[in-house]
Amino acid sequence: MTGLDDRLDGLRAVVTGGAKGIGAGIVRRLAREGTHVLILDLDANAAQDLAAECGHLVSVAAVDLTDLGAVNSVIADHGPVDIAVNNAGVDQHAFFTRTTPDDWRRLLAINLEAVFAVTHAVLPGMQAAGFGRIVNIASEAARLGSRGGAVYAAAKGGVVAFTKSISIENARFGITANCVMPGPIDTPLLRSAVDKGGEGLLKAMEGATLLGRLGTPDDVAAAVAFLASREAGYVTGEVLGVSGGMGVAAG
C-alpha cells in the first residue's frame, strides 16, 4: 500500500504554466513531496526564480505552448514523464460580441490545443511504462458558463470532455486522467480580471462561493497532488471542483 511519504516521491512531472499563480503552487507542492518537475512556461525569468527557490528537483523549459512542434520536442528531449499537469490557460474578459475570430483561435490554442499537444507527447511513454497521471486544470466556467468568458468556458468544457475520453482510452495502461475545476483563485490571472472589473467584481466572485472567499494556489495544488499521486490509482475520469462550493452555491 502507498504511504503518505512516498505517494509522489521520485515521480517525474511536467507542469505547464508552472511559473506563476496556480501552476507555481502545484510546482512547489509536487517538489515538496519529492517529485522531479519540469516547468513549461513562456515566462522564463519567473520560472527560473521558482526553480531556484525549490532546489534541484525543479527545472525549466521556456516554451510558448501554442507552438505545438516546440512542445513536442521539449518533452521528447526531456525523457519519460509520469505526471502531466496541463495548467496553463488565459482568459480574455470581454463579452462575446466584442471578440474576434483571432481572439477565439488564441484562446483555443492555449486553453485546449496545448492540452492536446502535451498529452499527445507524454502518453506513449506512459503507455509503455504502464503508469501515468494526467491532471488537467479546467474551470467552474465549464460547468456554469462565464459572463465575459464564453470562448474560455467553451475551451474549458472541451478540456473536461477530452480528459474523460483520455481516461477511457488509457485505463488499460494504468493511466488515469482527471480534471480539477478551480473557482476564483487569487492569482495574476484573476487580478487582471479585477483590474478591468473593479472591486465589485472581486466581491461578486467571493460571494459566488459558499465559503465567501477567494481560493489560493495551495488549495488547488493539494487536490492536484492527490490526483497526480500513486495513491489515486482508482480515481479516473473525474472532475473535482476546488471552488469553495461554487457549483452548489449556483444551485
Ligand X SMILES: NC(=O)c1ccc[n+]([C@@H]2O[C@H](COP(=O)([O-])OP(=O)(O)OC[C@H]3O[C@@H](n4cnc5c(N)ncnc54)[C@H](O)[C@@H]3O)[C@@H](O)[C@H]2O)c1
Considering the complex, what minimum distance in angstroms separates the CB of residue 133 from ligand X? 17
Closer CB to ligand X, 68 or 235, in the complex: 68
Question: Near ligand X by CB under 6 A, which window of 64-72, 122-130, 160-168, 195-203?
Answer: 64-72
Using the rule CB under 6 A, which residue among 8, 23, 117, 175 binds ligand X? 23
Considering the complex, what minimum distance in angstroms separates the CB of residue 99 from ligand X? 16
Considering the complex, what minimum distance in angstroms separates the CB of residue 172 from ligand X? 28
Positions annotated as catalytic residues are 152
Fill in the amino acid letter for 223. A
Using the rule CB under 6 A, which residue among 11, 14, 15, 22 binds ligand X? 22
Considering the complex, what minimum distance in angstroms separates the CB of residue 187 from ligand X? 3
When asked if residue 189 is in the footprint of ligand X (CB under 6 A), the reply is yes
Instruction: With beta carbons less than 8 A apart as the criterion, state whether 117 and 71 touch.
Output: yes
- As to burial, measured by CB atoms within 10 angstroms (0-12 exposed, 13-18 middle, 19+ buried), residue 245 is middle
Question: Near ligand X by CB under 6 A, which window of 126-134, 179-187, 195-203, 225-233?
Answer: 179-187
When asked if residue 19 is in the footprint of ligand X (CB under 6 A), the reply is yes
When asked if residue 182 is in the footprint of ligand X (CB under 6 A), the reply is yes
Closer CB to ligand X, 116 or 173, in the complex: 116
How many alpha carbons lie under 13 Å from residue 154 in its C-beta half-sphere? 10
Closer CB to ligand X, 41 or 131, in the complex: 41
- Full strand arrangement of the beta sheet holding 12-16: 58-62, 36-41, 12-16, 83-86, 132-137, 175-182, 239-242
Site string for ligand X, 87-106 (x = CB under 6 A): xxxx----------------
Question: Near ligand X by CB under 6 A, which window of 36-44, 74-82, 116-124, 168-176?
Answer: 36-44
Closer CB to ligand X, 131 or 224, in the complex: 224
Binding site for ligand X (CB under 6 A): 17, 19-23, 41-43, 64-66, 87-90, 110, 137, 139, 182, 184-185, 187-190
